Amino acid sequence: MINPRPLLVFAAMLAIHFIVGPAVSVAQDRFIIVQSTTSTENSGLFDTILPAFTDKSGIEVRVVAVGTGQAIKNAQNGDGDVLLVHARPAEEKFVADGWGVERLDVMYNDFVVVGPEDDPAGVGGSRDAVAALRKIGESKAPFASRGDDSGTHKAELQLWKETGIDVGSASGEWYRETGSGMGATLNTAIGMGAYALTDRATWISYGNKAGHKVLVEGDPKLFNQYGVILVNPDRHPNVKAEEGQAFIDWLTGPEGQAAIAGFKIDGQQLFFPNARR
* Mean pLDDT in consecutive groups of 10 residues from the start of the chain, 277 residues: 49 47 50 94 93 97 95 97 96 98 98 97 98 98 95 96 97 96 93 96 90 96 98 97 98 98 95 92
In terms of CATH architecture, what is 31-108+225-273?
3-Layer(aba) Sandwich (3.40)
If one looks up domain 109-222 in CATH, what number appears?
3.40.190.10
Spatial separation of the C-alpha atoms in residues 129 and 217, rounded to whole Å:
7
- Considering the chain, tell me which residue range(s) the CATH 3.40.190.10 domain(s) occupy: 31-108+225-273, 109-222
pTM of the model: 0.85
Average confidence score pLDDT of the chain: 91
Residue 28: exposure state from Cβ atoms within 10 A (0-12, 13-18, ≥19): exposed
pLDDT at 241: 97
Spatial separation of the C-alpha atoms in residues 255 and 249, rounded to whole Å:
10
